[in-house]
Amino acid sequence: MLSLIVFLPIIAGLVILAVPSSQKQIIRIVSLLASLAQVVLSVLIWRAYDPSLPGITAGPGGSPLGSFQFVEKLPWISLNLGGFGSLNIEYFLGIDGISVTMVILTALISAIGILSSWTIQKQVKGYFILYNLLASAMMGCFVALDFFLFYVFWEIMLLPMYFLIGIWGGPNREYAAIKFFLYTLFGSVFMLLVMIGLYFSVIDPVTGNHTFSLVAMASQENYIKDAILGPDNVMWRYVAFIVLFIGFAIKVPMFPFHTWLPDAHVEAPTPISVILAGVLLKLGTYGMMRINFPLFPEVFHASMYVIGIFGAINIIYGAFCALAQQDLKKMVAYSSISHMGYVLLGLAAGNSEGMVGALYQMFNHGTITAMLFLLVGVIYDRAHTRQIDKFGGLASYMPVYAAVVTIAWFASLGLPGLSGFISEAFVFVGAFSSVTTRYIAMVSVLGIVFGAAYLLWSLQRVFLGKRKADAAYDIEVGEDGHEHIHFHDWKGKLDLDGRELAMLVPLAVIIIFLGIYPMPVLGMLTTSINKLVEVLSPVVMTTMN
Amino acid sequence: MFELPSGAEIQGIIASLEASVGFFIPELYLSVLFMLLIVVDLFAKGRKNNLLSITTLLGLAGSIFFIYQQHSMQPGEFFFGMYVLDEFALFFKYLFVISAMIAVVITMADEQFDREVKSIGEYYALIVAMLIGMIMMASSADLMMIILSMELVSLTAYILTGYFKRDPRSSEAALKYLVYGAVSSGLMIYGFSLIYGLTAQTNLIKISAELSAHGYDPVVMILASLIVLAGFGYKIGAVPFHFWSPDVYEGAPTPITAYLSVASKASGFALLMRFFYIAVPHVVNPYEDIIGIDWVSLLIILSIASMIYGNVVALWQKNVKRLLAYSSIAHAGYLLLGIIVMDQLGTQATLFYLLSYFLVNFGAFYVVILIANKTGSENLDDYRGLGKRMPLAGAALTVFLISLVGLPPTVGFIGKLMIFSALLAKGSLYIWLALIGVMTSVISLYYYMLIPLNMYLRDSEQHGEKNMDSGMLAKVLMALLMILTLYFGLFFQPLSDFAKYSSAMFGVKLY
């Protein structure tokens, strides 16, 4: 099941490889079918998922079964290393409450990204092959339970992303693409060293060999006491935690490692921005929850305060930057930084409320930001500009568009009744109830105010009032006596067309539904989060050492 | 001075030689092939005639059979301890023979040969001669033998580098190569003479025994090691003995560049490992030597300098062959990391890395030749827009470059993984070396990606409808190398097991 959902896009990519590049429609449809199949599979997984199993660590008897679900475990590579025992790498997939939400999100956003890619005209074949490769790798990251496998998927994402930004991007794409590549690689090479160090420090309780299994690594009793990352080696455990954290923080992106994000977003084509904001950023915080924190709980405990401060900086700094942007897409990009700050704050709280909020915020941010970028893409297609001051009064000419934008914008600023509100509320409840992050939370609340400021202000400038003098469109009076607007070289429908609605409406429905009744998602993740909090709690730590 | 040996002694010597010849069959076979090629050249005139290249290919393929037969032989030394046969040597024999075969294949594809030389003549014979030299380098267990085999490799390499007689770049490269080569082999021989002075032995195992039994002056020993390293460092192209390599790589015919960058470098590593693993006695902790420095420290310095210098200077290169030259300096640094740890895991990692480097580097140079055939240039700017015009070549080159950076799912990633695993298996002792290794590989991403950047992200100014098809055979080969790079990146067990098997070295006391 999980293998299928991971490799479907790659299979589609191979099929596309055989299709002549002139058959653009076939290429698109093959990709769409694969991603729709992914969505169907993710729904099946969601239906069959048993929310009572905790995940995170191994179940009874050291086996992942009984704790993780949909487990697939096959020996992949087994090398004899002489005096160092044998190097065992497993093809080990499985999901728990943390990953199941992300799997659903990834399938959904991938499918919407394909729809959004319909307008790509340049080198369609290459585009969809790379896109499918990216989609597979993202999905693989979320379901891999072997560190080696996770790392392979993690790195496979980089190259397609580089080309997708670099070939199909905007004017400054070369710079943005290589910047993205270098930043992420810089983070991940250190992850490679930590991975090797962990391998030499951890023993699989079942086989007695060293292992890359994240499940075995999540239990502190599996560590060799005096190994390089064993409990006795306090200094190296701190170093390992910090470099891993930086590796994931670059992906989040956390201040001060965020500078690649605005560049990448501004240059990337709309579907790639959607993928980037909707899924890729979540990999950073997912990595923290799956690897960074549970493997080094005592270091996490010591650094909660610092993580919280960085979360607060992200929230406020991102909001301030967004406030200053003239480019609508750049504003949304900075709003992403701000909103990922809530995730960090929730994680830093270290309690169930905060962690649930963080994970739920990851899901909601994925859907909401995908919508924001799609909507920016809609107006950019028509006007070929994203400058906020080139519009004005659009609401009366594009009423459907304005309505959808309003939903998305309000969801982003956390209006009650929409999904963003619930997750942010959980984050703050968690952060306030934790002694460590209480004061940080008080400061962070300001972020909501600034968030409302830039969102409402941009909404007002683009949709309300009158047409600006140098706007990107002209007003014509039609034969029926009504005023219409006209974009210079836009031949399509003025308001949202069917394809655009097909992308936006499902997202809007999800956002509204989960804002009113969040249990379908929350219900899946609470058991795992409680388990994670238990693994991270200092009580467990002291009994173990 | 000399006493004439008695009849019985002569009988004994002859008997011993006769017994040794049985272990020397692949080398003898290749020598026959070398002479056969010279004879065939007399009959096969004209460059378009593929008779020579096909004969070479078949002949080389035949030698694999004889090498394969040696697996069943007992590892040991023969020819009075001059020469050894062990799994380690067999590994390099395979590597060199296959390298020579690939060099022949890509020579056949290179159209520059059609333009530059009237007759291919002794070219293939020289490739075989160099091959013999390299095989002997990997099997030498005696200082005299090391010098002889290294000179054989060097002399043939000088000629092959300057094979485009009318191309001044090629001649310049050959001259530079010769001058640097002469100086460094001179130094190396001086180092050997110091070692002989210390021990009165030339056999590596006996040297080791002598040094451990009677002790030695550490200052003289470190001086000797340093000077010997100049010779080896020149062969592997490590900083600061690298100055020849960018010019030689750029000027030499591209198949020879590929051959030098893979096989010749590997032969240097074979020698380096055998010499330092066997001849030099080892202290447990490298920092506890009397003067606080020993050959491992020297290698650490060489390795760091190569990784940093190679990767940083490559950033400014505009010629792809030159860029790959600097990258090969950097890779010498990574390979040295595996030797520094001085254990079986390190040896295994080094051998694996050599295999991956062999596969990927040949692939990269092959694509560079195919592109140069069509564009007539190796400049980075002329790679613009090639991704669209030569889709397979572009994709293959991208995969090879990604593998050189060390990203999954390619074989290069596994190579880096093994090297860093070997370092970290030593605990925290070498973590800082691993850190330098990973940080420099981030730097390397930038210049390797310059090539795909030009191929895919930029459009060429010329929109000629020139035929960019490189032919069926070339495409198949390219695709095969690309698939192997990816395949071994995911299922690397056979390569790794082979590397482990081959880490057994006759007379080694390290592991």
For chain A, the structural domain boundaries read: 2-544
Q: Note whether B510 contacts A: Cβ–Cβ < 8 A.
A: no
Give me the percent of chain B exceeding a pLDDT of 70: 94
CB contact under 8 A, A186 and B442: yes
What pLDDT, on the 0 to 100 scale, is given for residue A545?
40
- Mean of per-residue pLDDT scores for chain A: 87
- Residue B285, pLDDT score: 45
Cα B175 to Cα B168, B180, B238, B379, distances in angstroms: 11, 9, 20, 23
Strands B83-85 and B76-78: antiparallel
Nearest-CA distance from B409 to chain A in Å? 6
Subunit contact A178:B453, Cβ cutoff 8 A: yes
The yes-or-no verdict on residue B306 having pLDDT over 90 is: yes
Smallest Cα distance from B41 to chain A, Å: 45
Decide if pLDDT at B291 tops 50: no
Which of A192, A198, A250 has the most B C-beta neighbours within 10 Å, making it the best mutation to test the interface with B? A192
CA-based R_g, chain B, Å: 23
Among the partner residues A159, A190, A192, nearest to B402 by beta-carbon distance: A159
CB B448 within 8 A of CB B405: yes
pLDDT at residue number A200: 86
Predicted local distance difference test score (pLDDT) of residue B223: 85
Buried residues in A446-460 as b, exposed as e (16+ CB within 10 A): ebbebbbebbeebbe
Q: What is the mean pLDDT of residues A19-33?
A: 88
Question: For chain B, what are the domain ranges?
Answer: 310-511
- Judge: B457–A177 Cβ closer than 8 Å, yes or no: yes
Interchain CB contact of B511 with A (< 8 Å): yes
Q: Which residue would you say has higher pLDDT here, B219 or B168? A: B168
pLDDT at A473 over 60: yes
pLDDT score recorded for residue B411: 93
Is the CB of residue B417 less than 8 Å away from at least one CB of chain A?
yes
Cross-chain residue pair B434–A156, CB shorter than 8 Å: no
Say which range, A34-38, A226-230, B345-349, has the weakest mean pLDDT. Answer: A226-230
Residue B373 confidence (pLDDT) above 60: yes
B5 pLDDT more than 80:
no
Cβ-in-10-Å burial (0-12, 13-18, 19+) of B301 comes to middle
Residues of A in contact with B424 (CB under 8 A): 193, 196-197, 200, 228
Inform me whether the pLDDT recorded for B216 exceeds 80.
no
Range of lowest pLDDT (A160-174, A486-500, B51-65, B140-154): A486-500
- Smallest CA–CA distance, residue B458 to chain A, in Å, is 8
Rounded-to-integer distance, Cα B459 and Cα B388, Å: 9
| Chains A–B, number of C-beta pairs less than 8 Å apart | 95
Closest residue in chain B to residue A236, using alpha carbons only = B428
Q: Say whether residue B494 is in contact with chain A using an 8 A CB cutoff.
A: no
- Residue A332: phi, psi to the nearest 5? -65, -40
- Put simply, the answer to whether A77 touches B435 (Cβ < 8 Å) is no
Q: Which residues of A touch B500 (CB under 8 A)?
A: 79-82
Average pLDDT over residues B204-215: 82
More confident residue, A508 or B290: A508
In this predicted structure, what is the pLDDT of residue B412? 92
Classify residue A528 as exposed, middle or buried by CB count within 10 Å of its CB (0-12, 13-18, 19+).
buried
How far, in Å, CA of B162 to CA of B248, rounded? 9
- CA-CA distances (angstroms) from residue B427 to A39, A228, A230, A357, B421? 45, 6, 11, 39, 10
Structure tokens at B94: 């395979």
**A73 pLDDT higher than 50:** yes
CA distances from A185 to A189, A435, A491, B316, B385 (A): 6, 36, 42, 21, 26
**DSSP character at residue A467:** -
Q: Is residue A71 helix, strand or coil? A: strand
Give B220's contacts (C-beta < 8 A, 6+ positions apart): B194, B197, B198
B45 pLDDT more than 70? no
Indicate the range of B158-162, B172-176, B325-329, B507-511 predicted with least confidence. B507-511
What confidence score (pLDDT) does residue A429 get?
92
Q: Chain B window 215-274: which residues touch A at a Cβ cutoff of 8 Å?
A: none
Taking 80 as the threshold, does the pLDDT of residue A480 lie above it?
no
| ipTM of this predicted structure | 0.90
In B343-382, the residues whose Cβ lies within 8 Å of chain A are: 343-345, 348
d(CA B337, CA B18): 41
Contact B102, B94 (CB under 8 A): no
Q: Which residues contact A285 (CB under 8 A, 6 or more apart)?
A: A248, A252, A340, A343, A344, A347, A358, A362
Cα A132 from Cα A11, distance rounded (Å): 9
**pLDDT for the residue numbered B290:** 46
For B12-29, what is the HEC assignment?
A: HHHHHHHHHHHHHHHHHH
Most A CBs within 10 A among B344, B348, B413, B445, hence the mutation to make, goes to B445
Do B424 and A200 lie within an 8 Å CB cutoff? yes
pLDDT of residue A340 exceeding 60: yes
Highest mean pLDDT among A385-389, B90-94, B339-343, B474-478: B90-94
Whole-angstrom distance, CA of residue B371 vs CA of residue B271: 35
Cα–Cα distance, A329 to B1 (Å, whole number): 91
Q: Is the pLDDT of residue A542 over 50?
A: no
DSSP A118: G
Testing the interface with B: which of A196, A211, A224, A226 to mutate, by most B Cβ within 10 A? A196
How much is the pLDDT for A85? 64
> How many Å apart are CA B85 and CA B476, to the nearest integer?
36
The pLDDT score that the predictor gives to residue A62 is 67
CA distance A387 to A462: 9
Q: Which of A14, A77, A81 best tests the B interface by mutation, with the highest count of B CBs <10 A?
A: A81
**Percent of chain A, pLDDT > 90?**
40
Top residue of A80, A124, A183, A189 to mutate, by most chain B CBs within 10 Å, is A189
The per-residue pLDDT for range A393-430, each reduced to its tens digit, is: 788 888 888 899 999 999 998 888 899 899 999 999 99
Residue of A nearest to B504 (CA): A82
Angle, to 10 degrees, between the axis of helix A328-349 and the axis of helix A297-324? Answer: 150
What are the counts of helices (DSSP H) followed by strands (DSSP E) for chain B? Answer: 22, 2
Pairing between strand A483-487 and B76-78? unpaired
Give B508's contacts in chain A (Cβ within 8 Å). none
- Whether the pLDDT of residue A541 is over 60: the answer is no
Mean pLDDT of A196-202: 88
| pLDDT, tens digit, 9 for 90 and up, residues B235-245 | 898 888 888 99
Residue A209 is encoded by which pair of tokens?
Answer: 């060999």
